[in-house]
């Protein structure tokens, strides 16, 4: 049976079994324009396409977010300033520093349109889940979790993760956000950061040291998520899968492979909850494409060939031209006692969740 025929058979299944994949040429082009990750979105999409995975998913064209939609989290003042500098292509506006724009988040012509595209794509994915068009919705170019209400931060101009959560909460009361990026959302990090006000006890942080590899990472992830799921009883999940944890990433911290990340992904998917999947960090572009393509195959239950298929970006995968990523010899600085102390502390905190 040809892959297109398999795809037709798959798409005849009930909506709950379908996977939505957010894509349009215009959306990918907008995401390719970011100077820190040039053409990353195209590399990811092209590899997913080259492995023949698109026929097994419902491809949905995203709609750009309106200013009002982005203002469900961001301030109008920030969005209006982002729009102003976007139209002018002005990197020297004296007010930009106040809004976090500059060295870490440079401005350029069209940056507002990019923010609207990413925010809208995650909102489109969330709406597909709300409308029960699928059980899993994927937006790999999303996952920009550092942006604050009134500031760009950490190369993030819009917090599409928050926008997606807020949209899902129109239907689902308890939305669990899981962030597996190397640097998770701003303002947290220590195991004692447990949230503030009404959110006290609802934030869980698991600080890890350099060099962690797949097995230890999954042990921590599984142990924490089991407790979190029991305590919080989520109705929907937003899962951010930044690829800057991988061996070979310029961030040079963790020593993971896509196989380890996939174990965490499969653990979350076995809950069988509506799940919004986002990308995030990942600055070795070829390895990021390898990772998210492999994870797409895992979501679809497809085993992918080791050899990278011939396609537009084939030469970027040299010299080995394989899908696998090999860990480096970086030492793992996470000792067992330290890890168990963190897990014990988190489990104790979760007893306060109601």
**Which residues are annotated as catalytic?**
146
Helix %, strand %, coil % for the chain, to 5? 45, 10, 45
The vertex-140 CA angle with 134 and 145, nearest 5°, equals 105
Nearest residue to 279 via CA among 69, 68, 72, 45: 45
DSSP letters spanning 127-162:
HHHHTTS-SEEEETT------BTTB-BTTBSS-HHH
Beta bridge partners of 138: 21, 277
Cβ neighbourhood burial of 111 (10 Å; 0-12, 13-18, 19+): buried
Give the sign of the dihedral formed by CA 326, CA 3, CA 63, CA 112. positive
The vertex-178 CA angle with 173 and 184, nearest 5°, equals 125
Nearest residue to 56 via CA among 3, 107, 101: 3
Nearest residue to 218 via CA among 274, 266, 253: 266
Measured CA to CA, the distance from residue 85 to residue 352 in angstroms comes to 45
DSSP letters spanning 237-283:
EEEE--STTBTT-TT----B-HHHHHHHHHHHHTT---EEEE-----
DSSP letters spanning 299-316:
HHT-PPPSBPPPSTTGGG
Nearest residue to 170 via CA among 274, 32, 90: 274
């Amino acid at each position: 049976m040809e892959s297109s025929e398999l795809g037709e058979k798959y798409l005849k299944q009930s909506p709950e079994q379908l996977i939505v994949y957010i894509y349009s040429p215009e959306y990918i082009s907008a995401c390719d324009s970011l100077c820190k990750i040039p053409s990353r979105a195209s590399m990811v999409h092209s590899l997913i396409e080259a492995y023949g995975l698109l026929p097994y998913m419902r491809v949905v064209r995203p709609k750009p977010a309106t200013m009002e939609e982005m203002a469900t989290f961001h301030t109008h003042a920030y969005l209006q300033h982002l729009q102003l500098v976007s139209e002018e292509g002005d990197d020297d506006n004296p007010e930009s520093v106040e809004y976090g724009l500059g060295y870490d988040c440079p401005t350029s012509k069209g940056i507002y349109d990019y923010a609207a595209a990413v925010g809208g794509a995650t909102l489109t994915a969330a709406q597909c889940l709300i409308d029960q068009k699928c059980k899993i919705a994927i937006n790999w170019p999303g996952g920009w979790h550092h942006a604050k209400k009134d500031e760009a931060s950490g190369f993030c101009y819009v917090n599409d993760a928050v926008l997606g959560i807020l949209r899902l909460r129109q239907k689902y009361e308890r939305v669990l956000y899981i962030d597996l990026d190397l640097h998770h959302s701003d303002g947290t990090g220590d195991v004692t950061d447990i949230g503030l006000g009404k959110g006290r006890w609802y934030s869980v942080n698991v600080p890890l040291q350099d060099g962690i590899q797949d097995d230890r990472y999954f042990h921590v992830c599984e142990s924490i998520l089991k407790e979190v799921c029991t305590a919080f009883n989520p109705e929907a999940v937003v899962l951010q899968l930044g690829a800057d944890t991988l061996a070979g990433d310029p961030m040079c911290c963790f020593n993971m492979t896509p196989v380890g990340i996939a174990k965490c992904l499969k653990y979350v998917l076995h809950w069988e909850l509506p799940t919004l999947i986002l990308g995030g960090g990942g600055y070795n572009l070829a390895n990021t494409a390898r990772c998210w393509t492999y994870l797409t195959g895992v979501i679809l239950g497809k085993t992918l060939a080791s050899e990278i298929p011939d396609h537009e970006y084939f030469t970027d995968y040299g010299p080995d031209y394989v899908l696998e990523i090999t860990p480096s010899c970086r030492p793992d600085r996470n000792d067992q006692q330290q890890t168990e102390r963190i897990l014990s502390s988190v489990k104790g905190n979760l007893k306060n969740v109601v």
